[in-house]
Amino acid sequence: MRCPFCGHEDTQVKDSRPNEDGVAIRRRRFCTSCGQRFTTIERVQLRELTVVKTDGRKVPFDREKLTRSIRIALRKRPVQEERIERIVTGLVTRLESSGDTEIPSSRIGELAMDTLREVDGVAYVRFASVYRDFREENDFSSILSTMRDAATGLAGPSDDKAGPETPNAR
């Protein structure tokens, strides 16, 4: 694994341990050149998924993006980070085992909403209210940036600032 800081090819594994009940392996790595530490996470991937947006564009499924939107919905809620990872893993496994490699973005949104409803009522309402506004276009990245704005408003001005990508009108 190449060092993400300096590009050096030789990094060493210091420690590896399972997490999320053994569905992922987390490895702490150490660069022998610059001394930086970083973590890699190994997970089973049943298949490569492609997200089909409403306008027909196809993009590779991005687990991190899904995780960020779930995390934003759950911000300041009594839900541990490890549980969030398990929620996302559950969602991804359902998507990967659905039989289709191309998934409409709307299905990902619906599935995330259904899952949040079972986890935390407040997070569900946050996600659902934003999601419904975007149901027409079903663009997950729009959902994400609006979620961020909503969460920032709730958390106060000291949290992350709205960037230039912020949609300024509905």
Report the interface residues with Zn ion, using CB under 5 A.
3, 5-6, 8, 31, 33-34
CB of 16 to Zn ion, least distance (A): 19
CB of 12 to Zn ion, least distance (A): 11
Residue closer to Zn ion (CB basis): 31 or 73: 31
Closest CA to 69 of 142, 20, 19: 142
Query: Residues with Cβ < 8 Å from 70, sequence gap 6 or more?
Result: 84, 87, 88, 91, 112, 116, 127
User: What angle is formed at CA 19 by the lines to CA 116 and CA 123, rounded to 5 degrees?
Assistant: 15
CB of 15 to Zn ion, least distance (A): 18
Residue closer to Zn ion (CB basis): 3 or 91: 3
CA dihedral 11, 17, 21, 23 (to 10 degrees): 30
Residue closer to Zn ion (CB basis): 7 or 167: 7
3-state secondary structure (DSSP) of residue 33: coil
Tokens of 71: 């995390």
CB of 33 to Zn ion, least distance (A): 5
**How many other C-beta atoms lie within 10 A of the C-beta of residue 131?**
23
How many angstroms from the chain centroid is the CA of residue 100? Answer: 20
Residue closer to Zn ion (CB basis): 8 or 26: 8
CB of 32 to Zn ion, least distance (A): 8
Residue closer to Zn ion (CB basis): 15 or 159: 15
